Amino acid sequence: MNTIAEHIADFLKEYAPFNHLTFEELSIIATSIRVVNLEKNKVLFQVNDLLHDSFYVVASGVVTLSVIADAEETLLNKCIEGDIFGIRPFFAKNNYMMTAKAREESLVYAIPISTFRPFVANNAEVLNYLLESFAVNTRNYKDKENLIGKLISDNVFYAGEKSEMQYFQSLSYNTSPIKVNPNAIVQDVAQLMNESLKNNALVCNNNMPLGIVTDTDMRSKIATGRFPITIAVERIMSSPVITVMENVSLAEAQLLMLKYNVTHLCVTQDGTDKSTIKGIISENDLIIAQASNPGVLIKEIKRSQSAKELKQIRDRLSDLIQTSITKNIPVSHIFNIASEINLAIIKRSVELSILDLGSPPARFAWLSIGSQGRKEQLLLTDQDSILIFEDVAPDKYRDVKDYFFKLAKRTTGTLEKIGYELCPNGHMASNMLWCKSLTDWIKQYDNWMKDPGENSANISSIFFDYEIAFGEQKIEDAISDVVFKNVKNNSLFFDFLGNDALRKNSPLSFFKNFNVEDEGPNKNKFDIKTRALMPLIDGARLLALNFEIRGINNTHHRFKQFAITDPKHSEIYLNCAEAFLTLSKFRTLEGLKNDNSGEFINLDELTKIDRDKLKNALLPMRELEELIKSKFQLTQFS
């Protein structure tokens, strides 16, 4: 290999996505790379230019990406050494949507897409990186007012749930494609495509795919005069068509399109061309799905400048949850994704408040409590939070508290605009009671736990489910230390918490019928939150404190952990874990359907199968109740 190519390979291996390739692979790529010298202000490509056959990496200097809107140039991004740009030709056929210009004398490497494509098709990490970079370079498809695609990649790679989600994330696609028989005349097919505003038609026999004809075929084969418009469509179709099963994931679909260099995939009953057509997936479907990818959403959250922008992202999370549930993605997985995104929104809301108010006068922690503290917030329910700031000198206390109270007011106000309602019980950091110093919080937890009866009017068990959303981890750890110090040999506290957990009304009557609401606006509906989910949540919290399990707040995860900690009762715990997911799914579907908290289920709208499924999910609760009674020797309930 020549020394220039060797030097280029050495350079690339330091940067994503090239760091996911072997040095041998990079060496192959490096030999086909062109080195482009750009003088200051030289334009490499601009809006509406035809796509190049390469994408680019900055080797030195700075390249700016910009768009012109309303006769004004808007800077979208600055690409510095190691940044990739111009990857549109990988994923789209339309022209460039931004301008790339050298801000100073720069050197860029042009990497031919034909050389690089095979490495993408065989490497999910590289694909994910390019997909995410492209998705954030694409205009937000839902935000029609925002004509400028400000959401461009800053090459920060979200490592959390990304790879897993790419393979879980399903696609929405066209389930009623145009279908024609092989003998149909091209002119008629073209007219049909035009009337239906579709850019493709499937050629099939007995509803099984033989091939596909697209706009591209019409342009390259008919418009050029190679074939007359009167021939049968089978003469110009692309065949065989690439087929997939209907639960294909985003990443799998993208890999197949890259591998076979096609723009459409045909969805069939069993994923082969010998079974019934169910629909067609286009490149555009992939771009739309990618815009709701968690990694992309989190990047966009980090750059949001207002509650309005954050609200649009939260709306997209609702779409993602809806699609995921419809496609039967495991609820436990959806909890993980949703909680990461909710957490990022809360964090950004705090950051925006700090940007307005100026730097905090002391270190602090913003803790989410309740459902978000347990990573169980799929619906837009109310917000629960506390703010803890580090201890400061007595003469500074008032000013410091005043700052954090303003910060909390501003943050909860932002979250309300995004769609998280204010907590009706006032369990929020914007309440003077729940915004105080670490010492005050330690006293608070001490009081609750050492004398729970005295403080029963104030104690709320949700304060024992918390997760740090912003700030100092050490502050959260200090609260956990106090909680777990106080649980030791504290039968009074467990007696109180145990009775509280068992105080909820039973979900089923003696005759195994649902106990529904007797009166009010939800008459004859089933309160799935209070009667079904809360006993499981309260029971799991009680046992987690008893077993001194730190750091696991999610109800489902807690029950799974109990099965390991207390194997004698593992069957009860595992049944409760499963029941919790089933009940959560019922509540989420109800909430999404009615755009509310999903608390009250209209049993008349459920099928017989669903009613039985719901009833079966309530059965483990009786065993859990008996277990709690015997473990904590609880005999009386008030």
**Rounded average pLDDT over 395-409:** 96
Q: Is 90 exceeded by the pLDDT of residue 72?
A: no
Q: How confident is the model at residue 535 (pLDDT cuts 50, 70, 90)?
A: very high
**Rounded average pLDDT over 601-623:** 90
User: Which comes out higher in pLDDT, residue 503 or 478?
Assistant: 478
Residue-level pLDDT at 167: 42
Q: How confident is the model at residue 532 (pLDDT cuts 50, 70, 90)?
A: very high
Tell me the β-bridge partners of 635: none
194 to each of 95, 269, 279, 438, how far by Cα in Å? 22, 27, 19, 67
Residue-level pLDDT at 3: 79
**Rounded average pLDDT over 343-359:** 93
Residue-level pLDDT at 73: 63
Q: How confident is the model at residue 134 (pLDDT cuts 50, 70, 90)?
A: low
179-289: in CATH 3.10.580.10: yes
Q: What does the pLDDT look like over 228-283, one tens digit per residue? A: 999 999 999 998 899 988 777 777 787 788 777 788 999 998 888 888 999 999 88
pTM confidence score: 0.62
C-alpha span between 636 and 500 (Å, rounded): 11
Q: Is 50 exceeded by the pLDDT of residue 22?
A: yes
**Rounded average pLDDT over 554-562:** 93
Tokens 């913003």, located at residue: 366
Residue-level pLDDT at 162: 38
Residue-level pLDDT at 228: 92
Q: Over the chain, what is the mean pLDDT?
A: 84
Class of domain 304-310+325-480 as given by CATH: alpha beta
Considering the chain, what percentage of its residues have pLDDT values greater than 90? 46
Residue-level pLDDT at 464: 92
* 445 close to 486: Cβ distance less than 8 angstroms: yes
Residue-level pLDDT at 443: 94
User: Which comes out higher in pLDDT, residue 355 or 460?
Assistant: 355
Sign of CA dihedral 567, 572, 574, 576: negative
Q: Is 70 exceeded by the pLDDT of residue 148?
A: no
Q: Is 90 exceeded by the pLDDT of residue 378?
A: no
- ∠ CA 465-488-535, nearest 5°, is 40
Domain residue ranges in the chain: 3-116, 179-289, 304-310+325-480, 493-631
Q: Is 80 exceeded by the pLDDT of residue 132?
A: no
CATH homologous superfamily of 3-116: Jelly Rolls (2.60.120.10)
User: Which comes out higher in pLDDT, residue 636 or 359?
Assistant: 359
Residue-level pLDDT at 67: 77
User: What are the E-state strand segments in 233-350?
Assistant: 243-244, 264-268, 277-282
- DSSP-assigned letter for residue 244: E
C-alpha span between 303 and 299 (Å, rounded): 7
Count of CB atoms situated within 10 Å of the CB of 234? 18
